[in-house]
Every structure is written in C-alpha cells, then in structure tokens.
Structure 1
Amino acid sequence: MDAGAAYCNREELGRLIACCLTRNIPFYACRYPGEDEASFGAQYHSSPVRGAASGFRVVPFIESEESPAFTIVPDYCAADREALEALPPLPAVPGRLSGVDMGYDSYIEKAQRMICCMKNHEADKLVLSRTITVAYDATRMPRLFDALCTAYRDACVFMVSYPGVCQWVGATPELLLRSAADGYATMALAGTRPAGSPAEWPLKEREEQQYVSDYIRQVLCDCKLHAVSTHTYTRQAAQVEHLCTDFDISAPHDAAARDALLAGLHPTPAVAGLPADVAKRLIPVIEGRSRRYYGGYIGEADDEGRCRCYVNLRSLEFDARSVRLYVGGGLTARSVPADEWNETCIKSQTILSVLNRS
C-alpha cells in the first residue's frame, strides 16, 4: 500500500522468492494489476499470526484447523535480501498435496447433483471446482511468478508460502475489496468464455452475474453503506473474458468497518453460490474434499482501514515436486454439465500453458 521499501522489480523478486523457499521462510509476494513492481514481505523471527492482523492476510474458503486464516506480519522487506540470505534455514516441513484429481465422469455426476439441488430450490447457484495436478519442481517458482506477471498483466499475481500450512501461487482477476481515496471498491465478476467472443452473453451467464451483483448490493445495504455501480460490461482476463460490474463505496477508512465488509463479502456467489450458508454446507459434501485456500482471499490490510484484497482464483497449491491447479465454475438450474466441464478447461488453459513454458 505505501511502504516503498516493500516493493521491488521482478528480477530482484525472483531472488527473494528463491531465498525464502530454500530457507523455509514464510513470505508473500504480490504484483497488483497493471503495476510493474511487486510487494514482498518475509516473517522469520515469529510464526504468522492466526486470524486477522495488519499485514498480508490469507483466508481459506472455509476456515478449519487444517486450513486456518493467517496473516504474514513481515519483519523483512524487499530491501533486506542480503540479511535474509544470511539467516540460517528454518526447519523443513513436509508438503501437503495429497488425494487424486476429479475426472470427467465424477465431475459430471457432481454437477448433476448440484443442478438437482437447484431445481429442487435448495439453492439458486452453486460453484463446482476440480483440480489438475502436475509434476513441477519448486525451484522453478521464481520463474513461474515472473511468467504469470507477463501473461496476466491485469491480474493480481501472488505467491504465499507458510511451510506446512499453505503454499500457493496464482493470478486472480477478481477484486474482493480495495481502499480508494474516498472509500472502497469491489466488483461482481461472473461468466466465462474465450476472449473476443462476438455473440451476446447467454442468459445463464447473465443470470449468474446478476446473482453476484445483487449479493454485493445486499451486503452493502446490511453494512449501511452507499455505493455507485457501473453498467455490466465485458472484462478480459488473459485468454478469457467475464461479465463485470464495478462498485465504488462511499465510506471513511476504518479497520473494523472494513473487516466487517470483508466478512460479509466472503465468500461471494462467484466462488460459492447462493444462499451463501447453503452453498458453504453443500459444496464440501458434493465435492468430497476441502478446497483449502481456493475461493478464499489474499491481500494486504493495515490498522488504518486500508486494504488490497483479491479472491483466490486461477491459482495453484504447490509442494516441493508438484503443483495443483484449482478451477471452478458457477452452476445454475439452466446448466449443462458437459458445458460446465468445458468452461473449466477454458479457464485452465492459460495458466497450464504458463506452467509448461516456465
């Protein structure tokens, strides 16, 4: 947000990432949309704080003992590489990737179960996700981060490592909440198709986006906040595009009010569904596994009420020898399971191609 010494160019950032990964030091790196330099912080002398604090926050889709919310409160920044390199390594912690990916037949069956729930009026929308796991050496992570910055110029590219708890990298297009000069900003983002598609958006995608917009308006109303929204427009994110509505919220910067707004917005219908409590109950049962930090959010927040927080999408969990891409899509009663599978394939193409090149 401010701290100039916390920012560095991508070449220097690669050295910092390599330094922390080889020494098992908790750290974060974040290149915000449209920016050239990245924010960096490492925490060596104490463990990351469980829960919310001033620093870099990492919040799971559903909080649990295995997937806690935590904050990296840095005691080293981008200007401290030589000091970091002089530190002895912290104890190594085994990686956490386990389980198998969801195949096509399993995905179709789970999609049908979700669609049945919506046709029975248990929910209006549910998001089904799956994983794609590939071999990948963690020593290539600095190159991967740099390649994601190039491929996703208008995304928030991030990496966070808390060994034994959470190691994640991604390029998310979805803003959750950002402080602005006169308040805050958020967005409703939904629907996915190849970039440059000439046809009008189908009804299913327009309804899906409307669910997200209406949810945000209700959260703002509950928080007694006034916002001005744009008309819904098509927003490109690398090789795909989405429907988007931007919201400018009039409110003084205040940490407690900001945290209440974050709690109300997360998880949005774009990653969970509607009603939110029903979606959070049904998704783990139908998917049959924990999403961990996919569908949660990451970003900086301080004690003055400022923040830059993004939804954890288009992202990969990693350990020493592999990466696991999480990809999902919104289902409604109008959904066709095979079409939804194809949408997850489209969403995964860019990030998988970046993996193959880096």
Structure 2
Amino acid sequence: MIPDTKIIGRQKDARSVDGVVGAPALPQEQEQEALAARLLRDYDAGAFFFASPRRTMLARGVFATVPDAGGTNSLEGLPERVAAVLDASREAAHDIPVAVGAVPFDGKVAAQLVVPMTIQRAGPMVFDASAPSQSPLGSRYTLRPVPEPAAYMQGVAEALKLMQEGPLRKVVLSRSLHVDTAAPVDLRQLLHNLARRNPHGYTFAVDLPPHADAAPGSGRRTLIGASPELLVARSGLQVLANPLAGSAARSPDPVEDQARAARLMTSPKDLHEHAVVIDAVAEALRPFCKTLDVPRGPSLVSTQTMWHLSSRIQGELKDPSITSLTLALAMHPTPAVCGHPTALAHESIGRIEPFHRGYYTGTVGWCDANGDGQWAVTIRCAEADEHTLRLFAGAGIVVGSTPEAELAETEAKFRTMLLAMGLGLNAEVQP
C-alpha cells in the first residue's frame, strides 16, 4: 500500500516516507486538520492546490518552469524534461524540488508543470457536514451545452456503427457545458465546495495560461475539479493504480441506490468495459514492475453522485529511476478516458467530438526529484476564468451502449461540478 503521510515543511534534501520533503515530528491530528483547512482558505487563483484522501498540498510561486518540447507532441520526452528541471532546481539550492501541475489529454497543447517557490502540506481536510454551503456564483448565469444533447446522442450512434464495422472496441465520448456568470466566479468557494462534497477523491486547482486566441490582458484560467480516480502513485519502489470504469448514477432513495449498485456489479456491459481498462493498465505497468498484483474482479466505490467499478493494482518497480510521471505517461490515456484500441479511439474522438479536450481527461498531480508522486485523472472538472466555466463529462461507449443511457451518464457526471456551483440539475439551459 502506498503510504500517504502527513507532512509539512521545507527541509532540504531530506526523504520522507512519501518521498517529497523532510518530515519533522508530526503535529497532532487536530493540528493537521486545522492546517489543512487553512491551506484551503489560503488558496488564491494562480496557486496549485491538490488534496488526496490523506494529504493536502498548497504550492505557490514559480521557481522554474518545465519547457515545452515544441513540435507536434508536447508529451514526448516530458519525464526527461521534468527530471532535468528538478535536478537543476536542486543544484541551485532550491529546497523544494517538486514539479506540480497538469498534463493534457494529448500533445496538441503543452503540459503546464512548474517547480513552485513554496509548498505547504498537511493531512486530510475535515468538514462540518451540517454547515450551510455557499454558492461560488452570483444569481445571474446561463448554461449552454456543447454539443446539444441530440448531437451527442448522434455521436454515440456513430461510434456504435464504427464498432460494428471495424476493430474499435470502446471509445469515450465527452460533452461540455458552458456557464456564463454576471458576477466573478469565486474559485476559492468552488474549491471548498468540491473538497467538502468529495472527501474521498482528489480535489485540485491548477493555473493555466490564457487561450491562444484570448484578447491581450485576459485573466488567467484555472483547471478545477474533484476527480474520483487515481491514475498512479509511486512511493519508493511501491506503485499503485486505481482505474475506474463502469458507472451508474446514485439515487436519493436508499433502496434504489443499493439496487443500482448491485446491478452495476453484475452488468455484462460495465464488467466488459472495466476489464478492457484493467487489462490495458496492467499491460502498461508490467514492463516497469518486478511484481504486479491485479485483482480478479472489481469492487464498488462511490462518490456523492456516482457508483463506479474499481480495481486497485499494486506493484513493485524493477528500477528506482522510474518516476511517477514516467508511469503516468506510460498509462495515459487509459481506455477509461480514451478507448480501445487507443489510436483508433483517439482518431474517433477527434472526428466526433466538436471541441478539443485540452486538459480534460489528462492528469493532474506532482512528481518530486526522487521520482515519487501522485497523479489523478482529470475528470469531474471545469476550466474557469473570471466569468465563465466550461464543464466536461464523458461516457464509455461499448457494444451494448445506447445513446439515451450514455447521455444520462454524462448528465449524472456533470452533477459533481453543478452541485458544487450551487446550480443543481434544474438550472435553466440556453439553446
């Protein structure tokens, strides 16, 4: 099992259990909870925030930036470029050689990875469930789906036809929801709401550059969300991946909710979808691992809005020079966010989806100079600027899928962001 220690500090060149920075004597649990809450309160746009079920991280400032490779694929050679920047930072006596940020779905856009000036860490966040929730938006907003629901279902039908006619076995098709607000978006409150509603997931906020076609002087963008899915974590020689594939919406009725969970565990369509993902993840990790433990079947995990089929894959590395980012890119994109075969699914996504995903279905997290790190799959998220948010949700299309069911799945997955924004599912959508 990957340790997830509670640490804070800036001790130079000291190795902790999770391989990041020095570990002084651990504060008491209540002090750690208070510190985690303070880190969330201290978040401002432009900082990097990442919270796992056991650890909270706030990184600020930029000591060094990982350069883009140029060319047609920004992901090519990325682990080597990160390692070089981390080595240079350590040689420059920087006492926090950790790279943080976001990696895109594909190499059409550049990864956003930096070595921060400061990092603060604490244990998990704890919230008062009875406290009232505040909306991060004003009272005036509009919502616009891209593509329209009918067009999305047409895309699902097109994907099913491709499966009937050729070797495509799975493709993940996504849609977006554009939210325009009259008042500025309160990112800190949105992040707080996401963390409060998703204590067992990976809550994140990453600074992004303005769009290439943005007007001069446009404000920064932020990638913000609460992912339920760990792509990979590395601590020393220990590796953990926790892919999710196969989903069902939660129900407010407890009896129906349990019935949906039971149906998911026995659904041939969802079990097949899950097996495709697990096989691909295991195949990607095996060349790096001396041992690899792959469960025979999935278990159930839940968020506030969804049930998921889950498998925890654990292994031991052959070589300590293999970094968490190397492992993440070897697995990325998994069939859980792209499809199978990967190249054919990626081509189909480019043909059917009416937008480029950018950082959605990429990965977000951190990697230190020792190679340890944690990377979550960038789902249940939005790209935000001062007055707009672009939400994303996707569904895995396999033989047996129906356009209506996949549309309903994306609507259920939008709920993570919509509920955190205080909008609910009955918000008025503009055509």
TM range (shorter): 0.7 to 0.9
Give the superposition deviation at 1:128.
0.3
User: RMSD of the TM alignment (CA)?
Assistant: 2.5
SS in 2 for 1:206: helix
SS in 2 for 1:339: helix
Please show how residues 239-258 of structure 1 align to structure 2 within 5 Å: 239-251=305-317, 254-256=320-322, 258=324
Distance 2:288 2:152 in 1: 37
Q: Is the 8 Å Cα contact of residues 282 and 313 (structure 2) preserved in structure 1?
A: no
Query: 1:169·1:316 contact (CA, 8 Å) conserved in 2?
Result: yes
- Change beyond 3 A, Cα 1:138–1:168: farther
1:203 aligns with 2:268: yes
Partner of residue 206, structure 2: 160
SS in 1 for 2:234: strand
**Which residue is equivalent to 1:313?**
379
Cα offsets for 1:20-79 (capped at 9, x unmatched) = x3xxxx4210111244xx211123465554344241131100112xx2113121013349
Alignment pair present for 1:215 and 2:275:
no
Distance (whole Å) between structure 2 residues aligned to residue 353 and residue 236 of structure 1: 16
The match for 2:9 is 5
- Cα distance in 1 between the residues matched to 2:145 and 2:407: 17
- Report the TM-score when normalising by structure 1: 0.84
> 1:112 is paired with a residue of what secondary structure?
helix
The yes-or-no answer on 1:39 pairing with 2:102 is no
Q: Is the 8 A contact 1:125 1:274 kept in 2?
A: yes
How much does 1:102 deviate? Answer: 0.9
Structure 2 letter corresponding to 1:61: F
Which one-letter code corresponds to 2:286 in the other structure? C
- Write the distance in 2 (CA, Å) between the matches of 1:138 and 1:252: 49
Correspondence for 1:101: 146
**What does residue 148 of structure 1 align with?**
194
Q: Percent identity?
A: 23
In structure 1, the residue matched to 2:398 is 332
Gaps of 5+ in 2: 11-31, 69-77, 83-97, 122-143, 212-220, 251-256, 425-431
Residues 99 and 114 in structure 2, CA contact (< 8 A), matched pair in contact too:
yes
- How many Å apart are 1:255 and its aligned residue? 4.2
Which residue identity lines up with residue 151 of structure 2 in the other structure?
A: S
**Aligned-partner residue type, residue 373 of structure 2:** C
Partner of residue 126, structure 1: 171
1:263-278 superposed matches below 5 A: 263-278=329-344
- Offset, 1:100: 6.5
Amino acid at match of 2:393: V
Gaps of 5+ in 1: 80-98
Aligned to 1:29: 49
**Does the CA contact (< 8 Å) of 1:183 and 1:252 recur in 2?**
no
Counterpart CA distance in 2 for 1:5 and 1:145 is 23
Give TM-score, length-normalised by structure 2: 0.70
Larger Rg: 2
